[in-house]
Structure 1
Amino acid sequence: MNAKVFILALSTVAVGLVELIVGGILPTIAADLDISISTAGQLISVFALIYAIAGPVLLVLTSKIERKKLYLISLFIFFIGNIVTYFSPNFAIMMIARIFTAASTALIVVLSLTIAAKIVAPTHRAKALGLIYMGISSSLVLGVPVGVLISDHFGWRVLFLGIAVLSIGSMVLISVFLERIPGEQTMPLSKQIKAIGSAKIGSAHLATMFMLAGHYTLYAYFTPFLENDLHLNPTWVSICYFVFGIAAVAGGAFGGTLSDWIGPRKSIVIVISAFAIVLGLLPLATSSLVVFIPVMMIWAALSWSLAPPQQSYLIQTDPATSDIQQSFNNSALQIGISLGSGIGGVVLNHTDTVTNTAYVGSFVVVISLLCAVFSLTRPAITRENNLVRTSNQRAEA
């Protein structure tokens, strides 16, 4: 595997930490800034909203800029955003900083995905994307417990100072080891939006969204699930989160390896089908921790196994708009996380039991499977994309 892919993956770890690390320290931030916890929670929701919107938009607006230069500029903006967060005297300043870090994070992640796909051979593309998603998943899953631990000992602000330092390390590695990658002549935005709205590609994005929505229908309320269904104390809850995180990180690599082995189309169907089954069986495994932990680890691994084959499938389906498709798929992931959390909340309000979130989540994943099958069975896209690629190649020649 190209060593540059590992550098890109490390960068996604650094920038990914800033998103959900706030979740574990909301009470501390609220007390320090003299705001309510619900107000502090807007730091998460606004970040997710900006992230989902900024990725595709910024990718189009910056399409002609040399990619290494753009990557370094994005990392610098990310660095400034975290420094401002560290020194923020009030909620308003911190929110402004979060907007800048969200936008830069979205662009850095999608650049990591698109660059990784271009610097490796097609036969290793899914594995490369899997490594990038290992970086993303590790920061999202492990960021909260690590953040709580550091915050308890050194205060919440030092977390963002540490993330800023990590971004400096990423800038050094990218500037030294990544070659210059020219920007590309892209299709007009209107045509790219049209591509996203096609039945084949649009349903693929919906598959990603509903997969993550089904996952977070339960995962957003995993702590009460562990406490109520398995009667675990805080120590064992922390252990379960740690084990879940390790399995989830491995899942990104597994998805990439599986896709390179049997192809993205079969991988997509297998991963989503298995995920729906395991999620539905999870409450039945709560009779014993010995049974539950292996099932939980399979659930965790599958939760991040879809992204690599899905991204590879989108690249194969419509190469002319592959960059923007990868960005929109990443946005679909973010929207799915938000949607799943909301669905889980509705289930809890109407049933008063966390167990039902697993069953509802499994049903939502079945919707994801239907969307995926619908996408896979649509005719191949042959419209004017080939003409666009041919004209671009002639212009470069």
Structure 2
Amino acid sequence: MDKRIYFLMIISFVIGMVELIISGILDLIAGDLHVSIGQAGLLITVFAVIFAVASPILLVMTAKIERKRLTLVCLYIFLIGCIVTVFAPTFSILFIGRIILGISGALLIILCLVMAPSLAGEQYKGRAIGIVSVGVSASLVLGVPIGLILGTNFGWRAPFILITVLTALSIIGVHVFMGRITPKPQIPLRQQLAAFKNHKITLGLTTTFLYMTGHSIMYAYFKPYLEATTDFNANWVSVIYLIFGFAAVCGGGIGGLLADLLGSRKTMVIALAVFSALFFVFPYTTVFYPIFFLILILWGMLSWAISPAMQSYLIEIAPESSEIQQSLNNSSLHLGVAAGSVIGAGIVDTLSVNVIPFAGGLFIILSLITVVISVSSKKKTSYKTKNAI
């Protein structure tokens, strides 16, 4: 497999760190810049929304640009966003920095996802996407603890100094190691959007949104859930998050491998069936620690194992518009994170934290239903094929 794919994984790790690294230092930012924690939380919201909306639009706008050049341009803009963030004297400037990071980061992540399978070749495309997903999942898992440790000891700007340095090293790496990558022939936007007349694609994107919503309902409020249902102390809670994180990182690679070995369709159906069952079993394992940790590891793995299989599936359905589909799938994932966090908040405030596994499980069951319908339905005949007939 092309070694440049692993470099794309490193880039995706650096970019992905920015998304959630700020979560553990909101109080430090609020205190230093004299805003409320709620206002500081808008820094997460604006990044997530931009990340979800910007990537498909930017991908279409930059379709003709050679990929190495485009990656470098985005990395330089991302570096500017890092510098603005590090030296931001006010909350407004910091907010602008987050917007710059969100726009450039959104396109960089999707570039890594679309370049990886083209570098790997047909037989390794699932594994290539899975490797890039390892970088994304590792950044999301490690971002919060890294931000918390550096922010607590050296101030809230310290994590962003680290990201600035890593971004600069990534720019050097792209200049030295990445060769020219010619973009695929541009497909008119109207023709790309026409792919959504194929309900297999629409159901696939809906599946991503639903399962990530279910996952986020549980994960966003996992700490209070543990505090309410177990006797684990703070140290054990940290260990649990580390175990989950390690499992999630492994899950991205395993999902890509299974997609290549079993096929994307079987991988998604099996993974979502097990995933949904886990959430309904989970509440009954909190007093049986060996089973609890087994379920925890499986949950972590499955939370990121489905994404590379879904990416491969979307490529198989309509390879001529695969880039825009992967971008929209990435958007569906982030919108699911946002929706799950909001729904989980409502459940915790109005019902009980004990309800969140069941609520999350319901959404994952819905995602299982949509993916079964998608993979079992016949592929819609393309417009060109109809005209040829």
Task: Give TM class, smaller chain.
Answer: over 0.9
Higher mean alpha-carbon deviation, 117-126 vs 192-201, is at 192-201
Residue range with higher mean Cα deviation, 325-334 or 288-297: 288-297
Matched letter for residue 170 of structure 1 = S
Is the alpha carbon distance of 1:386 and 1:247 closer, same or farther for their aligned partners in structure 2, counting shifts above 3 Å? Answer: farther
Q: 1:384, CA displacement in angstroms?
A: 3.6
1:104 aligned partner: 104
TM-fit CA distance, 1:197:
5.1
Residue aligned with 2:186, SS: coil
Question: What is the CA-CA distance between 1:179 and the residue it aligns to?
Answer: 1.4
* C-alpha contact (below 8 Å) 1:9/1:135 kept by paired residues: yes
Is it true that 1:132 corresponds to 2:126 in the alignment? no
Q: Which amino acid aligns with 2:354?
A: T
After TM superposition, the structure 1 = structure 2 runs for residues 241-390 of structure 1, keeping only pairs within 5 Å, are 241-351=241-351, 353-384=352-383
Q: Is the 8 A contact 1:55 1:331 kept in 2?
A: yes
Aligned-pair CA distance for 1:342: 1.4
Taking the aligned partners of 2:3 and 2:56, their CA distance within structure 1 comes to 27
1:65 counterpart residue number:
65
Structure 1 match to 2:156: 156
SS across alignment from 1:323: helix
1:50/1:103 contact within 8 Å kept: yes
* 2:381 aligned partner, one-letter code: T
Moved over 6 A (4+): none
TM-superposed CA distance for 1:234, in Å, is 1.4
Shift of 1:182: 1.7
The residue aligned with 1:394 is none
| More off after superposition, 207-216 vs 186-195 | 186-195
Matches within 5 A, 1:136-285: 136-196=136-196, 198-285=198-285
Contact preservation (8 Å) 2:198, 2:380: no
What is the CA–CA distance in structure 2 between the aligned matches of 1:363 and 1:29, rounded to whole Å? 36
Residue 35 of structure 2 aligns to a residue whose secondary structure is coil
Read off the aligned partner of 1:299 and give its amino acid letter. W
Q: Cα offset for 1:245?
A: 0.4
State the 1:379 CA deviation.
2.1
The SS at the match of 1:302 is helix
TM-score (norm 2): 0.97
Q: CA deviation at 1:152?
A: 1.1
CA distance in 1, matches of 2:87, 2:380: 50
Question: Once the two structures are superposed, what CA deviation does each residue of 1:180-213 show, in whole Å capped at 9, x if it has no partner?
Answer: 0123332221222232353110110000010100
Paired with 1:310 and 1:142, the residues of 2 have a C-alpha distance of: 24
Contact 1:50 1:102 in 2 (8 A): yes
Counterpart code for 2:269:
V
Amino acid at match of 2:179: E
Structure 1: state its 5+ residue gaps. 388-397
- Residue 4 of structure 2 corresponds to which residue in structure 1? 4
In structure 2, how many angstroms separate the alpha carbons of the residues matched to 1:105 and 1:378? Answer: 35
Deviations 1:163-189 (A, max 9, x none): 011011111222222210123332221
Alignment of 1:42 with 2:42, yes or no, is: yes
Q: 1:181 to 1:384 in 2, by over 3 A?
A: farther
Preserved contact between residue 277 and residue 361 of structure 2 (Cα < 8 Å): yes
Q: Is the 8 A contact 1:205 1:332 kept in 2?
A: yes
Identity %: 41
Q: Which amino acid aligns with 2:266?
A: K
Question: Is the 1:53–1:331 contact (alpha carbons within 8 Å) kept by the matching residues of 2?
Answer: yes
Whether the 8 Å contact between 1:318 and 1:381 is mirrored in structure 2 is no
Secondary structure, counterpart of 2:305 in structure 1: coil
Contact 1:344 1:357 in 2 (8 A): yes
Which 5+ residue runs of structure 2 have no aligned equivalent? none
1:371 offset after TM fit, Å?
1.0
Question: Normalized against structure 1, the TM-score is what?
Answer: 0.95
Matched, 1:79 2:79: yes
* 8 Å Cα contact 1:5/1:132 also seen in 2: yes
Q: Structure 1: how far apart are the matches of 2:196 and 2:56?
A: 11
The residue type equivalent to 1:175 in the other structure is H
Partner of 1:24: 24
CA distance, structure 2, for counterparts of residue 92 and residue 193 of structure 1 = 36
Q: Measure how far apart 1:347 and its partner are.
A: 1.6
Contact 1:209-1:332 at 8 Å conserved across structures:
yes
Structure 2 counterpart of 1:390: none
Instruction: Call closer, same or farther: CA 1:77–1:386 in 2, change over 3 Å.
Output: farther
Alignment coverage as a number of residue pairs? 387
Which residue is 1:121 aligned to? 121
Encode CA deviations 1:60-116: one digit per residue, 9 max, x unaligned: 000000000000110111111011000001111111110110111111110001000
Q: Aligned to 1:63, what secondary structure does the other structure show?
A: coil
User: SS at the partner of 1:305?
Assistant: helix
Give the aligned CA root-mean-square deviation in angstroms: 1.4
Partners of 2:71 and 2:8 lie apart in 1 by: 10
8 Å Cα contact 1:320/1:385 also seen in 2: no
Residue by residue over 1:143-166, the C-alpha shift from the partner in whole angstroms, topping out at 9 and shown as x without a partner, is 101110111111110111110110
